[in-house]
Amino acid sequence: MTHVHHPVATQDRATMAKIREIAAPSKGVLERAAFDTVIEHTQPADGVTYEAAIVGGVAGWWCKPLHQTPGAAILYLHGGAYILGTAKAYRNVVGQIARRVQRAAFIPDYALAPEHPFPAAVKGAEAAYRGLLGQGFGDVVLVGDSAGGGLALVLASLMVAAKGRRQTLAPTRVAVMSPWTDLALTGTTIESLADADPFLTKAALASAANQYLGRHDPRDPNASPLYGNPEGLPPIRVDVGEDEILLDDARRYWEGAVSAGSEVQLHTWEGMPHVFPTNVGTLQAADAALDLRESHIFFHFPPFAYCVETVEADGDGFGSGRLIAVSVVTVPSA
């Protein structure tokens, strides 16, 4: 079981005190324009270009670093409790990761609730993933934060299951930040860290879950990956702050996945709030987390090159419409 605890830096203590003071008046407020404004303030990465695009029928944005690994991509699923967030607002966040790992990253604008309730987000994420495969990306890493982190874990399980039914390539790695894995809100830290968390409240998450799920069971594994089957998953890295109410969502998912035999790293960060890596350039922990994420995503892949052949077939997966089956031949890299 790999669990790494990261102590808080002295400088970050002072910075977090200021962040808490600024955030206090809007704690628990989930408003679309304000959320995008905060996310857009992430420091931009040098040498990354951005391009609006459609992948798998889903609109979004590409973040393309100057140097890219051929055939490799990131599918980044953004946070926002399934009711907030846009791909455009997340460009700087994802650009920071894309530059570090030298691979193009696509951020889909999956449909948001309440206009588009469950399972619209899952269908959109799967469509974008299969779209990347259809474009010849044989090495896809799933990355996400908060609700997008939970969505990435759901998608990973779906693609592993699909791989068993047909020749569909599963993701090679998953990396999630502060994942929301339990929409039933049963974690003990929902209550015990209520005062420590500067951003989230149980009431806000409950409202978002209700808008997304309606009367649907919050323990459905396609909504809450905590209740899914974590067997056979690709290597996963989880980063979470120790001052956020979703700490238990990360810890319990890690415990279950490890018990099932999956390779999962849990990194907990003292004094850090929800999705703290978006504060790159402001918090030392944010830069450190993204640098560690670089080693997890970029340096730990098996030395294989992928030869991908895509074949269209009638869909039988979770999503609707025609799906893309992918047959893969691996050969040792030169």
178 is catalytic: no
Q: What angle do CA 182, 186, 191 make, to 5 degrees?
A: 120
* Helix/strand/coil for 6: strand
From the candidates 6, 126, 244, 262, which is the catalytic residue?
Answer: 244
Q: For residue 47, give the amino acid letter.
A: G
116 is catalytic: no
From the candidates 6, 78, 267, 274, which is the catalytic residue?
Answer: 274
Comparing CA positions, the residue from 170, 168, 218 lying closest to residue 190 is: 218
Would you give the DSSP letter of residue 42? Answer: S
From the candidates 6, 146, 157, 262, which is the catalytic residue?
Answer: 146
- If phi over 0 gives left and psi between -120 and 50 gives alpha, with beta otherwise, what is residue 139? beta
Q: Which residues pair with 76 in a beta bridge?
A: 143
Would you give the DSSP letter of residue 112? Answer: P
CA distance 274 to 79: 11
Pseudo-torsion of CA 151, 154, 158, 161, nearest 10°? 160
CA distance 31 to 273: 19
244 is catalytic: yes
Residues annotated catalytic, as ranges = 146, 244, 274
